[in-house]
Structure 1
Amino acid sequence: MLNALLLAGALLAGQDAHAAPPSISTAGRAETVRRYASEARQGVAVGPDDLYAVSNWSIVRYDKASGEKRTEWSGDPVRYPHINSCALIMAELVCASSNFPGTPHVSSVEVFDPTDLHHKRSVALGLGTGSLTWVDRRDGAWWGMFANYDGRGGEAPRDHRHTTLVKFDDQWRRLEAWALPPSILERIAPMSLSGGGWGPDGRLYLTGHDLPELYAVVLPEGGGVLDHVATYAIEAEGQAADWDESQPGMLYGITRRTREILAMRVPVPTGD
């Protein structure tokens, strides 16, 4: 009988370890206002007139008004195994790339022409820290998130708790770095963060790998851990998302179930 009780306890403990994270109260729910048929697998970038579906070693440009395909780039899967996200920055399409799920982690920034999608240049960030999942620019600096994982794609002894936000100067030298708070880490385990970018209210917004949630964080006044200030419910199940700077409060994401691009209106402060 004792052995049976011990076995039952161990089974329950194993179930708890893999249970879904507890529900979390949200600051609001995004409204999906439009859907686009696409080929997106990893994320989407948005410009004033275009959408860019990101899928590892391919990028497809769509007309934002009509949804029609305009241009497509396809790279060598060996050279570009995992382009995770892109953003339109200073008239260029700037993309976060890594060798995920390969190890040791190697990351780079890949830059494309936003019109014909020809590859312009690379910034090799090398080994260490994790797999680069998104890049943005703010306050004269570059910002990037380096993901770490517990299982596939992980590099021991780091796990998802080692996911790191890094601030770089114009020469891509590391200036500062921050860890994630427990309230987000418990939501994304055993995976990491897939998307991120500065929002219309000056806060940093993050998306995970699977959950339909958007996390708002701010830099802390002290210490090295980001402050988690709000969570929004969204239809997109994580992955890389991008704010539409031409329409404050409009966030574009993807759903892997149908590979659609989603235009979502998020109830965040916009200063209007």
Structure 2
Amino acid sequence: MQRILSPLAGALLAASAVLPAIAADSAGKPAEMQSETVATYTIPEANQAVGVDAKYFYAIDNRIIAKYDKATQKLVKTFERPKGGAVKHFDSASVVDGKLYVAHSNYPEWPMTSSLEIFDADTLEHLDSHSFGIQIGSLTWVDKGPDGAWYAGFANYNRVFGKSPFAYGNKYNTQVVRFDEEWRPVEAWTFPEAIVETFDDMSNSGGSWGPDGNLYISGHDEPEAYVMQLPEFGSVLEWKATVPLGSRGQGIAWDRSTDDTIYAIVRGKGDEANKVTVNRVMLDGREKKAEAGAADAPATTASTTN
């Protein structure tokens, strides 16, 4: 029997098949894409994720949003709430139609609760909040798909916190959910086991729809993103390709003022500073052409102070 796709699913499947350069090979093995890190900025607040629009990027920490000028890497505005208040754990962010949509949860508290926090991207004024309550995991990212629908990642973890003897949700329960205009869940998908294994005992941290109509997702630590498509059959997303990034997992964001650039972060370890990275992805399959010695040259780095 022929499967009848919903208009939304059909549109996404059609869009994601545009570029053969990122199609899996004949054996179904995910393709290996190319990218290059073209800039690296020292940004103290880049601890969870980064959002981006045409002129600014937005570094995200647990209770902080810091808006920076892309051209100068100068701090423009900051939104911050104190520890112990209503803001618990910001995660990934996306900018859509002048609004900054930030995933929020009570991670690592139990039971898991999540909300979507909406800000004016210009002023960082808090505009609205939508609570998902006790959900199917911790909300880690939200983005608008090429079909006009909202998609979100709900993470579960194998890490054990506090006095609980149990895993924080079990990472295999991690899902991507599509919502209607009233934020009611319409459809949901899980990840292939091979991708879940890359999460170690953590989970899916970031998600952003690319200019090719594919969903790019990231884990908690690995320096790469995974190119996903909606499946023709069943409930498991199809893993089409992997793209290396200058990152350590966490939240990612496509810069939609370009057609080839992903922003990512490097969470510092020990005395190392947090960083935002700018990564150019070779979407059309072009070989990366670097001048002699360029591979050994350091990325552009700009220090910023608050």
Same fold (TM over 0.5): yes
2:35 is matched with 30
Cα distance between partner residues in 2 of 1:53 and 1:179: 28
2:190 is matched with 179
Secondary structure at 2:154's aligned position in 1? strand
* Distance apart, 1:156 and its partner CA: 5.2
Candidates 258, 261, 279, aligned match of 1:264: 279
* Distance apart, 1:25 and its partner CA: 7.8
Cα distance between partner residues in 2 of 1:269 and 1:79: 44
8 Å contact from structure 1 (residues 29, 234) kept in 2: no
Secondary structure at 2:172's aligned position in 1? helix
TM-score of the two chains, using structure 1 as the length reference: 0.87
Cα distance between partner residues in 1 of 2:243 and 2:167: 32
2:203 is matched with 192
Candidates 77, 80, 92, aligned match of 1:71: 77
Cα distance between partner residues in 2 of 1:80 and 1:156: 24
Change (3 A) 1:200 1:185: same
Aligned residue identity for 2:110: T
Q: How does 1:61-140 map to 2 (within 5 A)?
A: 61-77=67-83, 78-138=85-145, 139-140=147-148
Candidates 238, 248, 254, aligned match of 2:259: 248
Aligned residue identity for 1:253: A
Candidates 236, 253, 267, aligned match of 2:247: 236
In angstroms, what is the RMSD of aligned CA positions? Answer: 1.8
Aligned residue identity for 1:268: L
Report Cα offsets for 1:223-244 as digits up to 9, x if no partner.
Answer: 0000001111112010001000
Structure with the larger RCO, 1 or 2 (CA within 8 Å, 6+ apart): 2
8 Å contact from structure 2 (residues 220, 249) kept in 1: yes
Report Cα offsets for 1:171-201 as digits up to 9, x if no partner.
Answer: 0001000011112011112110110111110
* Distance apart, 1:203 and its partner CA: 0.5
Aligned residue identity for 1:110: E
1:149 is matched with 157
Candidates 171, 195, 214, aligned match of 1:160: 171
* Distance apart, 1:157 and its partner CA: 7.9
2:53 is matched with 47
Structure 2 residue runs of 5 or longer lacking an equivalent are 1-28, 286-306
8 Å contact from structure 1 (residues 200, 269) kept in 2: no
Secondary structure at 1:80's aligned position in 2? coil
8 Å contact from structure 2 (residues 261, 280) kept in 1: yes
Percent of aligned pairs with the same amino acid:
39
Give the length in aligned residue pairs. 247
Cα distance between partner residues in 2 of 1:56 and 1:241: 16
* Distance apart, 1:94 and its partner CA: 0.5
Structure 1 residue runs of 5 or longer lacking an equivalent are 1-23
* Distance apart, 1:142 and its partner CA: 1.0
User: Is residue 2:176 matched to residue 1:201?
Assistant: no
